[in-house]
Chain A
Amino acid sequence: AQKVTQAQTEISVVEKEDVTLDCVYETRDTTYYLFWYKQPPSGELVFLIRRNSFDEQNEISGRYSWNFQKSTSSFNFTITASQVVDSAVYFCALSGPGVDTGRRALTFGSGTRLQVQP
C-alpha cells in the first residue's frame, strides 16, 4: 500500500524566513513518482514539481527547492525567503509506475498549511 505522511499540520513564519515542509512516503514500487501541489485559498491544486524515483538530484526553481532522499523515503520542500503569497496548503503526493498497475492515481498526504505573516 502507498502512504504519504506530512507530519506538520500547520506552520507559521514571518516573511523572508526560510521554511521547510516535510514529506515522508511509503511504497513497495521500485518505480514511482513524487509530487508537490500548492492549494491557495481559491481551492484548486497547482502542480509544483514531479520527481521520479530514479532521479535523486535536488532541484531548485527560484525560491523553491526540493530534497529527495530515497534512503529516508523523504521528499522535502523548502521555500527560501518566504512571501505572503506563499500562504497556502501544500500537498505532497505519490504515484505508482502507471500502466496496468492499478496504482496510477495519486496518493496524497494530509497537507501542511503554511501561513506567512507580513
Chain B
Amino acid sequence: ETGVTQTPRHLVMGMTNKKSLKCEQHLGHNAMYWYKQSAKKPLELMFVYNFKEQTENNSVPSRFSPECPNSSHLFLHLHTLQPEDSALYLCASSQTSNSAKLFFGSGTQLSVL
C-alpha cells in the first residue's frame, strides 16, 4: 500500500465515450502527477499539479483534461479517445513538485476500442 489509490483499475471505453480516472492520495502531499505507460515507450509525464495549480502540461492532447480540486484528489477526464491512447495511466504524488521522490498508485489500465 503506497498511500496513492487509483480507480478504476481497469477501464474499457469506446472512442465516443466520456470517462474519468480518479486518484486519491493519503500522504499529505501537495504535488500530484499523471504519467502514461504505453507498451513500447518509457513512462511519459502528462501533467503536474502543485498546490492544486497545474505547473506542467507535457504537450498532452486536449482529449485528456486533468482536474485537481484539492491537494488530495486528481482526476483525468477522457473524451473522444483514440485506440493509441490505450495504456496504463499512473498517478503519483510527492511532498511538493520540487521533491523528486514520487509515490505511485497502481494505475488504471485503459483500453480504447
Contact = CB atoms under 8 A, between A and B. Distances in A.
Contacts of A44: 2, 4, 90, 104-107
Contacts of B97: 98, 104-105
B49 to A, nearest CB: 11
A3 to B, nearest CB: 9
Nearest to B103: A47
A50 B101 contact: yes
A64 to B, nearest CB: 17
Interface in A57-88: none
Interface in A36-62: 37, 42-47, 50
B98 interface: yes
Task: Kindly state the interface size class of chain B when it binds its partner.
Answer: 20 to 34
**Number of contact residues on A: which range applies?**
20 to 34
B88 A43 contact: yes
A95 interface: yes
Contact of A50 (B90, B100, B106): B100
A43 B106 contact: yes
Contacts of B45: 105-107
Given A4-B42, A43-B107, A43-B109, 10 more contacts: A35-B100, A42-B106, A44-B104, A44-B105, A91-B43, A95-B100, A98-B100, A104-B48, A106-B43, A106-B45
15 contacts: A42-B106, A44-B104, A44-B107, A46-B104, A50-B101, A91-B43, A98-B98, A98-B100, A99-B98, A104-B56, A106-B45, A106-B102, A108-B43, A109-B42, A111-B43
A106 B48 CA distance: 11
Contact of B42 (A42, A50, A111): A111
A105 B48 contact: yes
Interface string B85-98: 00010101000011
Nearest to A101: B98
A102 B104 CA distance: 21
A50 B99 CA distance: 11
